[in-house]
């Protein structure tokens, strides 16, 4: 797939436009004040960083039903059951895709997974407002994704600060050199290198090895997308990843617990 001409919206632009429309509907039903009140009923956020720093390879296992690049992946009628399998396999964190239109996810999935497992949970979505961060925390998330490519100017800084105020650990996602420099300058502790080009949706497994040397050693690097099994995990661990984020390969095969276990604990 080739990149669209400069004037045409990218897949990322289209996804964010849909996310904002869906957000209007939720905002009309639930005020920010209601969400703030709901924070009183959730557990204190779980900190995934000690595990990421201390363990050999950590797995962030994703609940992912479908995607713009691959279409339908798996039904996942019971995301809580899948999350229990991930946790039993040793997942260091679980990523729940909550975007509705392109990934068939929801905040309801996040709440169901929260009720089922005690591992840190990542709200994986296209977060461009403070409201979505509040929603994430109120639904029990411990981490939130911020994608540098979708947050121009100081919006990234403002959302990063707000997420930290809420006690969320932020996974700051990058795709190229400029975004990596931006994440480092922001002070991001946890940086995800996504091998999927969000303009073309093609996965380039060499992206991680190219960008990892730009990140100081005190930050934690996560390799994301296109990871099929332990051989891929070992490659990224050798290139400096402390964690991998895996969706498709886990939801498409029948033994997610064993698949997570096989990717966990690989050393350099
Ligand atoms: O997965 C996609 O097609 C996609 C398209 C556009 C924006 C984001 C997309 N995916 C989100 C992710 O980052 C992945 O779900 C995650 O890295 C896991 O990837 P995989 O193991 O390849 O399912």
- C-alpha 145/C-alpha 122 separation (Å) is 7
Q: Is the CB of 114 under 6 A from ligand 1?
A: no
Cα-to-centroid distance, 37 and ligand 1 (Å): 32
Any atom of ligand 1 within 6 Å of the Cβ of 149: no
Q: Is the CB of residue 248 below 6 angstroms from any atom belonging to ligand 1?
A: yes
- Three-state secondary structure string covering 30-90: CCHHHHHHHHHHCCCCCCCHHHHHHCCCEEEEEECCEECCCEECCCCCCHHHHHHHHHHCC
Burial group, residue 111, by CB count within 10 angstroms (0-12, 13-18, 19+):
buried
| pTM: predicted TM-score of the whole model, two decimal places | 0.96
Residue 56: the pLDDT is 83
Looking from the CA of 108 toward its CB, the CA atoms found within 13 Å total 7
Closest protein CA for atom 14 of ligand 1: 225
pLDDT in tens, 40-56: 999 999 999 999 999 88
Q: Which residue has the tokens 């276990």?
A: 261
What spacing in Å lies between the alpha carbon of 201 and ligand 1's midpoint? 9
Retrieve residue 42's tokens.
């959730």
CA-to-CA separations, 88 to 123, 199, 211, 240, in angstroms, rounded: 20, 35, 32, 26
d(CA 16, CA 25): 15
**Average confidence (pLDDT) per 10 residues, the chain, 268 residues:** 66 96 98 97 97 92 97 98 98 98 98 98 98 98 98 97 98 98 98 94 97 98 98 97 98 94 89
11 CB near ligand 1 (under 6 Å): yes
DSSP letters for 153-210? TTHHHHHHHHHHHTT-EEEEEE-SHHHHHHHHHHT-SEEEEE-B-TTT--B-TTHHHH
Q: For a substitution probing ligand 1, which of 68, 191, 247, 259 has the most ligand atoms within 8 Å of its CB?
A: 247
Q: Give the closest residue (by CA) to ligand 1 atom 17.
A: 225
Q: What is the pLDDT of residue 265?
A: 84
201 CB near ligand 1 (under 6 Å): yes
The per-residue pLDDT for 2 is 53
Q: How far is the CA of 225 from the centre of ligand 1 (A)?
A: 6
Q: Catalogue the active-site residues.
A: 62, 64, 124, 173, 194, 224-225
ipTM value for the complex: 0.98
Residue having the nearest C-alpha atom to atom 19 of ligand 1: 225
Name the H helices within 69-154: 79-88, 107-116, 130-138
| Measured distance CA(202)–CA(105) in Å, rounded | 22
Residue 67 Cα to ligand 1 middle (Å): 7
- Residue owning the nearest CA to atom 7 of ligand 1: 198
Q: Distance (Å, rounded) from C-alpha 196 to C-alpha 201?
A: 6
């Amino acid at each position: 797939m080739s990149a669209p001409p400069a004037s045409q919206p990218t897949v990322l632009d289209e996804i964010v436009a849909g996310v904002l429309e869906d957000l209007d509907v939720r905002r009309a039903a639930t005020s920010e004040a209601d969400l703030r009140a709901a924070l009183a009923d959730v557990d204190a956020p779980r900190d995934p960083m000690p595990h990421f720093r201390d363990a050999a390879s950590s797995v962030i296992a994703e609940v992912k039903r479908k995607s713009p690049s691959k279409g339908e992946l798996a039904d996942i009628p019971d995301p809580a059951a899948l999350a229990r399998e991930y946790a039993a396999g040793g997942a260091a964190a679980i990523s729940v895709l909550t975007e509705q239109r392109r990934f068939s996810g929801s905040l309801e999935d996040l709440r169901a997974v929260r009720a089922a497992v005690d591992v840190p949970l990542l709200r994986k979505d296209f977060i461009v407002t403070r409201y979505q961060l509040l929603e994430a925390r109120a639904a029990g998330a411990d981490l939130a994704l911020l994608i540098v490519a979708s947050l121009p100017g100081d919006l990234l800084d403002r959302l990063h600060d707000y997420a930290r105020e809420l006690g969320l650990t932020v996974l700051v996602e990058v795709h190229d050199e400029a975004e990596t420099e931006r994440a480092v300058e922001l002070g991001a502790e946890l940086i995800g290198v996504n091998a999927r080009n969000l303009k073309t949706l093609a996965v380039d497994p060499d992206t991680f090895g190219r960008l990892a040397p730009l990140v100081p050693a005190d930050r934690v690097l996560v390799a994301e997308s296109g990871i099929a099994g332990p051989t891929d995990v070992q490659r990224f661990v050798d290139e400096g990843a402390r964690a991998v984020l895996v969706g498709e390969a886990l939801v498409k095969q029948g033994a997610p617990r064993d698949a997570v276990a096989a990717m966990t604990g690989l050393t350099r």
